[in-house]
Amino acid sequence: MALLETRNLTKTFGGLRALDDVTISVDQGELVSLIGPNGAGKSTLINTITGMLEPTSGDVTYAGTDLVGLDPFEIAHLGVGRSFQTASIFPELTVRENVQVAAFATEHGSFSVNFFKRRDGYDDVRERTERILETIELKDDAAETAKSLPYGDKRRLEVAIGLATDPDLMFMDEPTAGMSPGETEMTVSLIRELLQDWDMTIFLVEHDMDVIFDVSDRIFTLNEGAIIARGTPDEIRNDPAVREAYLGGGEI
Ligand SMILES: Nc1ncnc2c1ncn2[C@@H]1O[C@H](COP(=O)(O)OP(=O)(O)OP(=O)(O)O)[C@@H](O)[C@H]1O
């Protein structure tokens, strides 16, 4: 059984069909990527699956549970996480505190103002936080304030915060955007580690085609709200419809 499935998912904004009958499935342990030109509907698809937007019609199921109509926090609680590109970081808190807050909120319902006074009592939160900091390679910077981190480390902290919510499936929104080649390489090896050592299923939206072709098991291509191609990296690389949508027929 697929872990995540959408069936005939459609989302309209006024007269615009931002998603047009999208049917996809993701298996446990897979890394699937979603590509498509600007405005293709990638964010709309993720937002519709994760409960930020309500679909106009169609179904979304996760591990057999119908997600349509659930709130984002309920969907997160089922094990669907998200590494946000913006605004999930508290700039004045340390790196470690940022991860602890997210881990605490997941394990204990919600963030409490007393958390920082009592956090030493929460062994589960502490252990999870340290394991994440190690994986993300931010342990040496754990006592720094988040705002002081270089750009690439900030982006990895976003992944750490996503991990702290203990997801089985994680949506990653352009995790390498704006990164240097070295930072991109680090992020790619982090993605591999999440798949291999954390048994994660990953749904990646990314513009860097080298990263996409490198890490994906399967790729979905969206254009004007509709899936125009699906397949392995080799199949997608050679797909005429993908070339046409992306580069007017040129090389990818
Ligand atoms: N809240 C909204 N209200 C009206 N139109 C919207 C809304 N959100 C998205 N759209 C439109 O839906 C279409 C799909 O947008 P979406 O942001 O999902 O594309 P995308 O593939 O994520 O693009 P990008 O790669 O530029 O982030 C676009 O035409 C966009 O203008």
Say if residue 115's pLDDT is above 60. no
ipTM of the complex: 0.97
pTM to 2 decimals?
Answer: 0.89
In the structure, what pLDDT confidence band is assigned to residue 98 with cuts at 50, 70 and 90? very high
Interval 137-155 mean pLDDT? 91
Instruction: List Cα–Cα distances, 172 to 2, 102, 116, 190, in angstroms.
Output: 19, 17, 28, 12
Contact 89, 118 (CB under 8 A): no
In the structure, what pLDDT confidence band is assigned to residue 57 with cuts at 50, 70 and 90? very high
Contact 183, 152 (CB under 8 A): yes
Atom of ligand 1 nearest to the CA of 14: 4
| Cα–Cα distance for residue pair 56/9, rounded to 1 Å | 8
Say if residue 123's pLDDT is above 60. yes
pLDDT of residue 223: 94
Interval 132-150 mean pLDDT? 91
pLDDT of residue 1: 72
Residue nearest to atom 7 of ligand 1 (CA): 13
Atom of ligand 1 nearest to the CA of 41: 18
Candidate of 12, 22, 34, 42 to mutate for ligand 1, largest count of ligand atoms within 8 Å of Cβ: 42
Interval 228-251 mean pLDDT? 83
Give the distance (Å) from ligand 1 centre to CA of residue 222: 12
Give the distance (Å) from ligand 1 centre to CA of residue 39: 5
In the structure, what pLDDT confidence band is assigned to residue 73 with cuts at 50, 70 and 90? confident
Interval 206-231 mean pLDDT? 95
Question: Bigger pLDDT: 183 or 115?
Answer: 183
Pocket of ligand 1 (CB under 6 A): 13, 16, 18, 36, 38-44
Cα atoms in the 13 Å half-sphere on the side-chain side of 197: 12
In the structure, what pLDDT confidence band is assigned to residue 83 with cuts at 50, 70 and 90? confident
Complete domains list, the chain, with CATH:
1-79+168-175+201-252 (3.40.50.300), 87-166 (no CATH)
Angle, helices 123-135/181-196, rounded to nearest 10 degrees: 130
Q: CA 99, 101, 107, 109: dihedral to nearest 10 degrees?
A: -150
pLDDT of residue 101: 87
Atom of ligand 1 nearest to the CA of 225: 14
In the structure, what pLDDT confidence band is assigned to residue 245 with cuts at 50, 70 and 90? confident
Candidate of 10, 44, 53 to mutate for ligand 1, largest count of ligand atoms within 8 Å of Cβ: 44
| Cα–Cα distance for residue pair 184/176, rounded to 1 Å | 5
Residue nearest to atom 28 of ligand 1 (CA): 39
